[in-house]
A and B are shown apart, each in its own frame.
Chain A
Amino acid sequence: MVDVAAIELLGIDKRFGSVHANKNISLSVAKGSIHGIIGENGAGKSTLMSILYGFYQADSGEIRVSGKPVSIRDSQAAIAVGIGMVHQHFMLVENFTVLENLMLGAEGGAFLGRGADAARNELKRLEAEYGLDVDPDAVVEELPVGLQQRVEILKALYRGAEILILDEPTGVLTPSEADHLFKILEQLRDQGKTVLFITHKLREIMAVTDTVSVMRRGEMVATVKTKETSVEELAELMVGRRVLLRVEKQAANPGDVLLSVKNLTVKDGRGVVMVDNVSFDVRAGEITGIAGVAGNGQSELLEAIAGIRKPVSGEIYVNGELLTAANPAKLRDMGLAHIPEDRHHMGLVLPFEENENSMLGYHHDPLYGAGPFLDLEAIRKDAADKIEKYDIRPPDPRLKTANFSGGNQQKIVCAREIERDPKILIIGQPTRGVDIGAIEFIHRRIIEMRDAGKAVLLVSVELDEIRGLSDRVLVMFAGHVVGETAPDADEKTLGLMMAGIAA
């Protein structure tokens, strides 16, 4: 280790209106190390990194790079001082080649020829140095996500980054792809680069980092050597209290088949077959989990069952009745509730008041008003009841939904769907972007639904969640259900199935 820190943050403070996103944060990142930053969603990690990368300006405080105070006004300035960022959602032009993406913004003149040659040579050098091999002429959209992420890393290195920030980099990767990424990061570190690794997954922190800093509610609560800490200690630091990492539940008591999918084939918006001849049953009193890396057809499967996406062929039986491609409203009437994967996109209308979202999809119920009219008083009363029961904060049914935190937004959706007492509950990514406290709460509700004899179909890319909640696990890969295992199968077997290797 070298004496001078690669990055030093001194007293960084940032407010958004009444939200104090970063409170007087100081942090020192040693050169040539992998430094993890962990915290719940909304703890202020992303804000801090955005300040470092020039998206926001800190209200006060100082940033030092290699000991020198710098002012980072925008991403150009960040690159100039050697800070590169690999975003959670890739910033690549999908129909460009790897080389073209690399050059983008650094073309080196009006004509591309010379710049392209230079880029090709530089790419070769980077490949040799860090073992980051990727075909420069491959079109990005044809590459698997793991390789796309590698292109992102190459892009940062190509621009001369000495310090790499990775924001939740493993969300889209299989466990083996993630392991591969970790190897690359270690190699980068060994070559003297500094890596800032942001995540909310404890397992990854333990696997790859040298040092870890924990953020909670905008504050940096601890910085410790990874070797000297444990998952339990970090979880406690993140949440500020002891956390139950495992879900407690009794053995399942499966009943009749309530949801049955037969030979279902679904295409996505581009006409690509995403679900290919899939069949399975979901029984009452049982949680059927679907594991798989994001993008292997789980989303389309859920949407087809919920009546949002029309399948190409196949049948869906709800409670014994053939309801393929029925209107979502009809499916709700039949007792099928749906907690969608993406609450911002589907589950909620963010600019609406909380109480309006609290009835979304069920607004034709006479409970919310007679005939064509809405009974605002009844709607708000109903919303207030749900807020109390689900401990949604702040407890204000008239607040704009966008002003709730991720966890509370998800609780709004869960309350709406679960409180209808449906026969069948289908759930996508129930805890994505949700803080640990709310995760516990939502998991308990899902188990309660099962114990009350409901059929639950759970789709999640979080392996721990699938293993913790499900009574049986189906694994999806490339549109197929490649196998079924017990939830206590070891991670390696599941990982191989998710990668499509064992069937």
Chain B
Amino acid sequence: MSTASVKLPNWINYGLMPLINLIVAFLISGLVIWLIGESPLEALDFMLRGALGSGEAIGFTLYYATSFIFTGLSVAIAFHAGLFNIGSEGQAYVGGLGAALVALALDHYVPWYVTMPFAILGAALFGAAWAFIPAWMQAKRGSHIVITTIMFNFIGAALMVYLLVNVLIVPGKMAPETRTFLPGGQLPKLDWLMAIFGMKLGAAPLNFSFIIALVMCVLIWLLIWRTKLGFEMRTLGVSPSAAIYAGVPYVRTVIIAMLLSGALAGMMALNPVLGASARLQVEFVGGAGFVGIAVSLMGRNHPLGIVLAAILFGLLYKGGDELSFERPAITRDMVMVIQGLVILFAGALEHMFRPAIVKIYTRFAKG
């Protein structure tokens, strides 16, 4: 009780504490790896080298991070308005449809930079549309957003499979996916970005959506902390009763926040669909929507924190891939255990070490 009220300097709150949490998560992960008879140090080496060891490795890490930035922002903006949107997964999936339809319609006729704004719009609109029904039901009928959004994940998945298998599939082919977009429907790779640092991107799918994601971070930061709408959303999120007192329109604010959340989730689809594989595939989201929850949590719902957390998770994804490839005893599931431990310590147990740090800090500050 008493230690919670002690104010710590920012470098401890936002630097030292996440670092300690992360180290503890890695120590326990190391223990798990040691238990199954592998060397933890070697595993760490594989992971870090796999995720950061070359231009290509970094490219993969940032590619994953891009998706997580979008979904992390999606979760965060809803959270600021007091809404727990766990439907980013489904909204991203449906958003992919919007992006793909634009690419399929335009790629024959125009270059990528003309397609891009329409694709962004398409992805955002479809993602927002998928969030609209749960939003409306929450605002008007009081149906709990957690329940409705998770159900819409399933509905979205079923809808997309149906469309890919029956409507969008290339006639005569077995794979449930659209045709490959022409360059006019693709987002270019970021070779130049790597070249600035004297590295080669290689086969890594890092693409222009990374830039879009960073721009979105700035825009969302502006929205939340520098506009009246953002102020109203935050008021509603922290104190619904004070929001009513202040005349913040509940229905409108809830719906706008969820539409924005859905739009950001939808835009995540740009990265794999238009950037990496240049076609719409079944289950292309691959859990990024759910990782977004962890990223938002770990990033304290702040765009800058979300970028850092997204990169960390990108690192875990890419490093984990590498690890399970090099050491088959460490399976994909084991990598998920490591990711889970990071979420556990950095998110759920973030205050576990606080009392101890406060004690040390106050003693240090006094003496």
Q: Residue on B with the closest CB to A331?
A: B247
B1-24 CB mask vs A (1 if < 8 Å, else 0) is 110011100000000000000000
The reply to whether B2 and A17 form a contact with Cβ atoms under 8 Å apart is yes
* CB <8 Å contact, A306 and B245: yes
B139: interface (CB < 8 Å): no
A373 touches B228 (CB 8 A): yes
Q: Are B242 and A376 in contact (CB under 8 A)?
A: no
A411 located at the interface, meaning its Cβ lies under 8 Å from any Cβ of chain B in the complex: no
B147 at the interface (CB under 8 A from A): no
A-B contact count (CB 8 A): 76
B247 touches A328 (CB 8 A): yes
Give the bracket for the number of chain A residues in contact with chain B. 35 or more
Query: Within the complex, what minimum Cβ distance (angstroms) separates A137 from chain B?
Result: 36
- Which one of B2, B229, B230, B235 lies within 8 Å of A360 (CB-CB)? B235
Residue from the set B1, B2, B6, B232 with the largest chain A CB neighbour count within 10 Å = B2
The residue in chain A whose Cβ has the minimal distance to the Cβ of B1 is: A56
Query: Is B246 among interface residues, defined by CB-CB distance under 8 A?
Result: yes
Q: Which of B6, B229, B235, B242 has the most CB of A within 10 A?
A: B242
Q: Which residues of A contact B244 (CB under 8 A)?
A: 308, 328, 346
Q: Which of B1, B226, B229, B245 contacts A328 (CB 8 A)?
A: B245
A:210-239 near B, CB below 8 Å:
none
Q: Check if A329 sits within 8 Å of B247, measured CB to CB.
A: yes
Q: Does A332 count as interface, using CB distance less than 8 angstroms?
A: yes
Chain B residues near A320: list those with CB within 8 A: none
Per the 8 Å Cβ criterion, residues 335-391 of A in contact with B are: 338, 340, 345-352, 356, 360-361, 363-364, 368-369, 372-374, 376
Decide if B231 is an interface residue (CB 8 Å cutoff).
yes
Interface SS of chain A: loop
- Does the CB pair A348–B242 fall under 8 Å? yes
Interface flag for B238 (CB, 8 Å): yes
Which single member of B228, B231, B241, B249 contacts A345 (CB below 8 Å)? B241
CA distance A502 to B241 in the complex (A): 36
Nearest residue in A to B6 (C-beta to C-beta)?
Answer: A17
Residue of A17, A330, A360, A372 touching B246 (CB-CB under 8 A): A360
Indicate if the CB atoms of A330 and B247 lie closer than 8 Å: yes
In the complex, whether B277 has a CB less than 8 A from a CB of chain A is no
Residues of B within 8 A of A327 (CB): 247, 249
The yes or no answer to B54 lying at the interface (CB within 8 A) is: no
Instruction: Tell me the chain A residues, 1-29 only, with Cβ under 8 Å from chain B.
Output: 15-17, 19
CA distance A292 to B246 in the complex (A): 26
Interface residue B166 (Cβ < 8 Å from any Cβ of A) = no
In the complex, are the beta carbons of A349 and B226 less than 8 A apart? no
CB distance from B366 to the nearest CB of A (A): 12
Q: Scoring B residues 203 to 238 as 1 if CB is less than 8 Å from chain A, else 0, what string do you get?
A: 000000000000000000000001111111011001
Q: In the complex the two chains form, what is the Cα distance from A182 to B323 in whole Å?
A: 74
Besides A19-B5, A360-B242, 6 more A-B contacts (Cβ < 8 Å) are A17-B2, A346-B241, A347-B242, A360-B235, A363-B228, A374-B226
